[in-house]
Amino acid sequence: MSKTSIAWTNRTWNPVTGCTKYSAGCAHCYAETMAKRLQGMGQKRYANGFDPTLHPEALNEPKKVKEPSMFFVCSMGDLFHKDVPFEFIDRVMDIIEMCPQHTFQILTKRPERMYQYFCERTRPCHRPFDLPKNIWIGTTVENAEATKRLFTFTSILLPHTTNVRFLSCEPLLGDLGELDLRDIDWVIVGGESGNQARPMQKEWVLDIKRQCEEQDVPFFFKQWGTYGEDGVKRNKKANGCLLDGKVCQEWPKGYPKVGKEVTNE
């Protein structure tokens, strides 16, 4: 568990690390690169590299943090990977329930398995899920193909919960087309980083922003990544996070901002 520079959260918590490639956004996975680097450095937690691995020794970490914090759950993996037993996810959920002072952001590329878990472990799927209110649930939609995942998320999963629901369009790899955001509380957008990064077009970002404004959904632009607003490849810090000269980092309604304060200076 550690503090993080990720702009939309405070801390990361990794009771599960590792994953397998699932869609186009996984091609140059930052977590895989980092896991293999840590493996090479002899870090015990990453002895398996990026193979899905359970870390029961990490379960109690949020209980040690007294200050109310936002936790990105499994930033180095996917809690709902097929190799993570539901019994272990139960243990993660137990810790979340024991820490009502914190908020836990769970992001998955596998909303269908998230739905399966919530159906089996909470209530029958025709009734609302009995989830701790300090859980935010999200899915990744990186290109037009991945909007099928959005359909699963909104039409199957979301009608059963009133928890904060969010989309991560990162790395954004293409035009998403028209989106139905009626059950979405927050949209995060960002470009890809790293030597093999694929460029993100400004018009893709602006189209998502437009749709968020039209459907009254908070829009959070995280970063340009390796390719800037002008399409030039450079260090991601130099490219920054300004969109048309402005910081566009809204939060779900009724929730305070977290993370590092960003200005347009």
Residues 205, 177 contacting (CB under 8 angstroms): no
Q: What is the pTM of this model?
A: 0.93
**Residue boundaries of the structural domains of the chain:** 2-247
Rounded Cα gap, residues 88 and 95, in angstroms: 11
Instruction: Identify the residue whose tokens are 């995280």.
Output: 222
Q: Is 44 exposed, middle or buried (0-12, 13-18, 19+ CB in 10 A)?
A: exposed
Q: Is 185 exposed, middle or buried (0-12, 13-18, 19+ CB in 10 A)?
A: buried
Residue 130's pLDDT is: 82
Residue 264's pLDDT is: 46
Residue 262's pLDDT is: 53
Residues 52, 18 contacting (CB under 8 angstroms): yes
Instruction: Identify the residue whose tokens are 């990544």.
Output: 225
Q: How many CA atoms lie within 13 A of 213 on its CB side?
A: 8
Residue 5's pLDDT is: 86
Residue 126's pLDDT is: 63
Q: What is the β-pairing status of strands 16-17 and 53-54? A: antiparallel
- Amino acid present at 265: E
Query: Is omega for the bond preceding 171 within 30 degrees of 0, making it cis?
Result: yes
Positions of the chain with pLDDT under 70: 1, 123-127, 259-265
Residue 123's pLDDT is: 64
